[in-house]
Amino acid sequence: MVARTARTGHLIAAGAAMFALPWLVWGSAIAQAHGLIGWRLLQGLALWVLTPSVVLVTALIGGRPALLDLGCRLVVWRVPPVTYLAAPAMPVVVATAAVALAAALGHRPHLGAMMSLPSALAYLGYGVGLYLLTEEAGWRGLLLPRLQARMRPAWANLLLGVVWSVWHYPLLHVPGESDNGLPFAGFLLLTTGTTVLIGALVNAAGGSVLVAALFHAAFNATYSYTGVVGPDHTPLWTAATVSAVLAVALSTATRGTLLRR
């Protein structure tokens, strides 16, 4: 079923569904900041508008079988225990290495400047459900299986990482957002490397989107607490470098399969 709904037209439709409404929400804030309009859409909607978009496009490209497949991927929780450990641990390892490298370059750590530790822990709990039902339902529930049906997992995740980075591009220009002002090149490298790591983890977990959501929530919480996405861009570049090195090493070690069975 996944292979039958992995044609180019299906992938374009799925990608369009992921981009359209979030870009509309973020675009309204950017337009307001530039004085083009006098209002903005509620920014908290940017992720939640993905839920109906993903459900609708899944039904359109594959009908009931595709919806059942997506639903199953969302609720898979009986996975190798190591994947539950690796999901939050990998962002912590990358962030720790990034902060250490930045400190070695003379940049003072900014722990808690962007998000306090209690807030980060609370965000971790809330973020799992948020990303499970929004972003990860689309990226790892809908698009990743179809991309991996078309090409080797390493290439599929590399492509998805670039798409995911471009999807975030307007967010880098929304006033008041934590990602505002981040250099796109560093963000692209970080997000693409991270996508490869998430893809391998999802493959090891038999396609579980829940594991991806746990990684995603830990990724955002950890990088906000440690200042990787803060105004000092050096930790962003060091985290991007560490993520890229790990992604290349993992792809090489698995010969491009990224643990896909």
Which pLDDT score is estimated for 127? 97
pTM: 0.96
Radius of gyration of the chain (CA): 18
Kindly give, in sequence order, each residue whose CB lies less than 8 Å from that of residue 121, ignoring residues fewer than 6 positions away.
221
Q: What angle do CA 191, 194, 198 make, to 5 degrees?
A: 130
Burial of residue 2, with CB atoms counted within 10 A of its CB: 0-12 exposed, 13-18 middle, 19 or more buried: middle
In this predicted model, what pLDDT tens digit does every residue of 169-185 receive, in sequence order?
A: 999 999 988 899 999 99
Which pLDDT score is estimated for 230? 87
157, 159, 164, 166: CA torsion to nearest 10: 160
In this predicted model, what pLDDT tens digit does every residue of 245-255 receive, in sequence order?
A: 999 999 999 99
Query: Are 29 and 40 spatial neighbours (Cβ–Cβ below 8 Å)?
Result: yes
Which pLDDT score is estimated for 38? 95
Which pLDDT score is estimated for 243? 98
- Residue 2, Cα to own-chain centre: how many angstroms? 21
- Would you list the domain boundaries of the chain? 78-253
Average pLDDT by stretches of 10, the chain with 261 residues: 94 98 98 96 96 98 97 96 97 96 92 93 96 98 98 98 98 92 97 98 97 98 94 95 98 96 83
